């Protein structure tokens, strides 16, 4: 898939998976997210995910879905950082993203992509 196709597919997905380096290996978290331009934003409650990405901001993010008669998967590798400026939080569009768990998620995170790759697999 082209870079443009990857971002388009990613923007159409509702749920993705965030991989972070933890003290004892790799942890993977399901997250809902928004794509603004070529940046991924998500909300998080305090916890191990934030602790891990603060200690090691290199992350991977994956989302997948189906379109027509094929499945697709997009993987982004990059760096995550918490947002702390109100103007950046507002401009990101993340404030419109509702939490799916009912937990207060007042930490806002940006994933800046270094690479994005995608694959499309025909359904039989």
Q: What is the CATH number of the domain that holds 107?
A: 2.30.110.10
Give me the domain span that covers residue 9: 3-122
Number of domains observed in the structure of the chain: 1
Burial class (CB in 10 A: 0-12, 13-18, 19+), 77: middle
List 29's β-bridge partners, or say none: 18
CA 66 – CA 87 distance, rounded (Å): 35
pTM over the 0.85 mark: yes
Local confidence pLDDT in tens for the 124 residues of the chain: 999 999 999 999 989 999 999 988 999 999 999 999 899 999 988 888 998 999 999 999 999 999 889 999 999 999 999 998 888 888 888 887 777 676 778 889 999 999 999 999 998 7
Rounded to a whole number, what is the distance in angstroms from the first to the last CA of the chain? Answer: 19
Alpha helices for the chain (secondary structure H): 3-12, 48-55, 86-92
């Amino acid at each position: 898939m082209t870079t443009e196709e990857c971002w388009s597919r990613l923007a159409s997905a509702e749920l993705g998976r965030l991989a972070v380096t933890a003290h004892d290996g790799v942890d993977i978290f399901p997250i809902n997210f928004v794509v603004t331009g070529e940046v991924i934003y998500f909300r998080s409650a305090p916890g191990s995910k934030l602790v891990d990405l603060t200690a090691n901001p290199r992350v991977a993010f994956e989302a997948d879905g189906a379109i027509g008669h094929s499945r697709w998967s997009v993987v982004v590798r990059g760096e995550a950082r918490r947002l702390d400026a109100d103007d950046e939080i507002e401009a990101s569009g993340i404030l419109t993203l509702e939490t799916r768990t009912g937990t207060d998620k007042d930490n806002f995170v940006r994933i800046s992509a270094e690479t994005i790759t995608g694959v499309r697999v025909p359904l039989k």
